Amino acid sequence: MYGDEVPLFFYSDLFIKYPEVREMFPISMRAQRDHLVGALAQIVSQVDDLEALTAFLQSLGRDHRKFGALADHYGAVGASLLATFAHFAGEGWTPELAADWAAAYDLVASVMIDAARRDEVLRPPYWTGTILACERRGYDIGVLHVRPEPRLDYLPGQSVSIESPRRPRLWRFYSMANAPRPDGTLEFHIRMVDGGAVSMALVYEVPVGEEIKIGPPVGMLTLDPTSGRDILMVAGSTGLAPLKALIEQIASLPRPPHVHLFFGARTADELYDLPSLDKMAGEYPWLRVVPAVSHDRRFNGEVGNITDVVARRGNWAAHDAYLAGPTEMVRRTAEMLAAAGMPGRQIHVEDFGWSEA
Amino acid sequence: MTVAWQQDQKRLTPDQVQSASFPMSRLGRRGYDEEHVRQFLAQVEQEIVTLMNEKTSLWNEVQRLRRRIIGRENGGDAVLFGREDAHVHAVQILSKAQLTADRYVADAQAYSHRLTEEARSRRDEILAEAQEHAEMVLKEASARAHEAAMAAFSEPPGGATEQERRGLQAELAYLRAFGEVYRTHLRAYTEGMLRSIDEWERREARSLEQASFDAAQGGDTRGGTGGGTAPDPVPPGAPSPEIVPPGGASPGSGR
C-alpha cells in the first residue's frame, strides 16, 4: 500500500536514532530497501512453516556477521521497525498490537542472534583474501586467484560474497571455480558487467597483493554423490566456475559417473576457459566437453542457443543436471529438461537464497 | 458546536447581525439608505461565519494537541509531542536526501553503463573490420599464389625454353617474397591495432574509475556466475589465429 515509503521511513528513523549504523550501509539504499521488504515478506510467508523459517533466519543471522552486525544493533532495528509500523498504522496502532509485534520481532532477532553466536565459535565473520594473481581472459573476463586467511572450507559448487575495498559495502556473489585445494587458494571467474561497479573493479583494477573481504560459503549447487546417475552440466559464460569445481570433485571419486559438460558463450572469444577444459577432457575418460557459441557463425563447433544445443544432443532424462549461468539461460534449460521428462529433483540449479546486500 | 467562546453572551452572532433593524430617518432623505445597510449586514454575516469556521478548526487542532500532551504525561512515555513531530519531520528530510542520493548513484551508474556499452560496440566494429580486411587480403594472396603455381606446373615439360623456365621461377620467387613481406606487414598492422585497442581499454578503465567510484553503490546485482545477463552488443569474435600468430612479425615494421 505504501510501497517504498515504509522501508524508506524505517532506515531514516534508524539512522537518525543511531547514526553510527549508517556506516554499515552503502550510499545508495535502493537495493537495500528491496532486500528488507523481501526478507520481511519471506518471514511472513513462512510463518506457518517454522522449520523453514528458522533455517532462513539462522542463515540470515550468520550472514549478517560479515556486515559487522552485533547483538546491540538488533535492538535498534527492532525499535525503528516498531516506530515505522506505528507511524503508518496511525490510529489503528494499539498498545496490544505494539506488544504483539515487539514479541514477534524479539523472537526473530533472538533466532538470528543465537545463530550468529553459535557461528562465532566455528568461523570468522569474514575471511581476508589476498589477491595472488588476476588473469585477463578475452576482453571482459578476469580469473582471480585468491588466498583466504584463515583457511576457508566449502563444498564444491558453493559461492561466497566478496567485498572489494574499492567498493565498500557492496557485496557480490561469486562461485569458487575449484574444489578445495591443499594450499587453500581459491579461483574466481569474474565477468565484467557493463557499468557494474564491483565487477569492473575486480576485473580491471584490483592489483596483486590487495586484500578483499570474503563472506561465508553459501549455495546448494552441490554434488549428490549417492545418485549413481550420469551427469549433464550446462554452463553459460562464467557459470562455468561452480561446475568446474564439481568436475574436480568428481575426479576424486573412486568411480566417477560420465559427465557431459556443455559450455556456452556468445562468441568463441568468450569461451575463456576452453584450453583448461580440453586438458581435463584429455585426462578424464569420463568427461566430454561440448563448447557452443550463440553469436558467431564462423565458430568451428556447435552454433546456437545453448539450450537448443543441449536438447538436440540427446535425451537427458536419466541424468542428473547441474545448471549455472545467466538467470534466463538457467531457467530456459531447466524448463526444457523438465519438459523432456527429467524429474525436478534431478535438476540442480544455483540458488543463492536471500543473503545478498 | 460546543466551542467555549459561543457561551460568551456578549459575542455578536450572525443571527444577531441578520435580525438587527435600523429605524428609518424621519426626515426621509437624511437617514441611511436601507439597501446599503442590508448589503453591509450581509457582508458582516459572511465575515463572522468565516471567522467562526476558522476558529473551530483551530480549536479542534488545539484540543487534539492537548489530548496528546495529556496522553504522554499519563502514559509515562518520556518523548514530548513536540520532539516526536520534529523527529518525523527529520525522518522525512533524511528520506528525501536519501532518495536524491539514490538517484545520483543510479544516474552515474547508467552513464557508466552506456559508456562501456558504446565502447564495446566500437571495439567490436573495429575488430570486425580488421578481420574482414585481413581475410580479403589473405584470400587474394593465396589466389595469386595458386595461379602462379598452376601456371608453373601446367607448362609442358619440354615446351618451355630454359629462359622461360628461369623467368617463371624468378616470378615465383618474387611472389613468395612478396607474400612474405605482405604477411609481415599485415601482422604488424593487426598487432598495432590490437595494442591501440588495449591502450584505449586501459584509458577507458581509468576514466571510468572515477565515475564508477562515485557510483560505487547499488546496481551490479549479481556478478560471477550470473554475470552474463547484461545485454551486450554482438561481438564478432577475436581475429583468427592465422592472422595474429603469437609474437608474429617484428613489431612496428609495417607502420
The CA distance from B131 to B244, in Å, is 10
Q: What is the pLDDT of residue B222?
A: 43
Q: Which of B120, B222, B235 sits opposite A267 (nearest CB)?
A: B235
A30 in contact with chain B, both atoms CB, cutoff 8 A: yes
Reported as half-sphere exposure (CB side, CA atoms, 13 A), residue A236 has a value of 29
Contacts across the A-B interface (CB distance below 8 Å) = 194
- Chain B contacts of A3, Cβ < 8 Å? none
* Cβ pair B237:A296 closer than 8 A: yes
Taking the C-alpha atoms of residue B152 and residue B156, their distance in angstroms, rounded to an integer, is 9
pLDDT at B221 over 60: no
CA-wise closest residue to A173 among A239, A89, A104, A248? A239
* pLDDT tens by residue, A87-129: 888 778 888 989 999 999 999 999 999 999 999 999 999 999 9
Give A356→chain B minimum CA distance, Å: 9
Tell me the C-alpha distance between B152 and B166, whole Å. Answer: 11
Query: Average pLDDT in the B198-207 region?
Result: 77
Condensed to tens digits (0 to 9), the pLDDT of residues B119-154 reads 888 888 888 888 888 888 888 888 887 887 777 677
* Rounded distance between C-alpha atoms, residue A246 and residue A219, angstroms: 13
With a pLDDT cut of 70, the percent of chain B lying above it is 63
Give the span between the Cα atoms of B218 and B229, in whole angstroms. 17
Pick from A174, A175, A194: CB nearest B230 = A194
Chain A CB contacts of B88 under 8 Å are: 87
B120–A30 C-beta distance less than 8 A: no
Percent pLDDT > 90 in chain A is 60
Would the pLDDT of B233 be above 80? no
Q: What is the pLDDT of residues A18-65, one digit of tens each?
A: 998 998 999 899 988 998 988 888 888 888 888 889 988 998 899 899
* Grid cell digits, residue A114: 543465537
ipTM for the assembly: 0.76
| DSSP 8-state secondary structure symbol assigned to residue A202 | I
Cell readout for B211 is: 565515475
CB contact under 8 A, B234 and A328: no
A298 touches chain B (CB under 8 A): yes
Q: Which residues of A touch B113 (CB under 8 A)?
A: 194-195
Is B102 within 8 Å of A30 when comparing Cβ atoms? yes
pTM confidence score: 0.66
pLDDT of residue A239: 92
At B188 the pLDDT is: 80
Chain A segment 100-119 residues within 8 A of B by beta carbon are none
Please compute the mean of the pLDDT values over residues B107-116 and round it to a whole number: 86
Please say whether the beta carbons of B230 and A196 come within 8 A: yes
Interface probe, candidates B113, B122, B225, chain A, greatest A C-beta count within 10 A: B225
The pair phi, psi for residue A135, each rounded to 5°, is -95, 135
pLDDT of the residue at A205: 78
**Quick one: which H or E segment has residue A293?**
strand A287-293
d(CA B193, CA B128): 12
Structure confidence at residue B10 as a pLDDT band (50, 70, 90): low
Give the mean pLDDT of A132-147.
91
Partner-chain contact B225 A175, CB within 8 Å? yes
Residue range A260-297, pLDDT digits in tens: 999 999 888 889 999 999 999 999 999 999 999 998 77
Range with the poorest average pLDDT among A83-97, A211-225, A227-241, B10-24: B10-24
The answer to whether residues A330 and A350 touch, using CB atoms and an 8 Å cutoff, is yes
Taking CA–CA distances from A265, the nearest residue in chain B reads B228
- Could you check whether the bond before residue A150 is cis, i.e. omega within 30 degrees of 0? yes
**In terms of CA atoms, which chain B residue is nearest residue A22?**
B98
Pick A189's closest partner by Cβ from B98, B224, B238: B224
* Inter-chain residue contact A30 with B116, CB threshold 8 Å: no
**A174 vs B: CB within 8 A:** yes
- Check if the beta carbon of residue B225 is closer than 8 Å to that of residue A188: no
Question: How many other β-carbons are positioned within 10 Å of the β-carbon of residue A180?
Answer: 18
Edge-to-edge strands, sheet with A159-163: A171-175, A159-163, A211-214, A127-137, A141-149, A186-191
The reply to whether residue A195 touches residue B105, judged by beta carbons under 8 angstroms, is no
Residue B22 pLDDT greater than 50, yes or no: yes
> What pLDDT is attached to residue B226?
39
Which of A167, A173, A194 comes nearest B224 by C-beta? Answer: A173
Closest residue, chain B, to A324 (C-alpha): B225
Question: Which residues have C-beta within 8 Å of that of residue A36, sequence separation ≥ 6?
Answer: A7, A10, A11
Indicate whether B229 pLDDT > 60: no
Mean pLDDT (whole number) for A196-212: 86
The grid coordinates of residue A66 equal 560479515
Task: Name the closest residue on chain B to residue A10, using Cα atoms.
Answer: B91
Q: What are A350's three cell numbers?
A: 544455483
Identify all chain A residues contacting B239, using CB atoms and an 8 Å cutoff.
none
CB contact under 8 A, A159 and B224: yes
Higher pLDDT, A196 or A147: A147
b/e map A334-352, b = 16+ CB within 10 Å: bebbeeeebeeebbbbbeb
Question: In this model, does residue A159 exceed pLDDT 50?
Answer: yes
**Which residue, A69, A70, A62, is CA-closest to A161?**
A62
Out of A65-79, A217-231, B189-203, least confident range: B189-203
* Per-residue three-class SS string for B94-111: HHHHHHHHHHHHHHHHHH
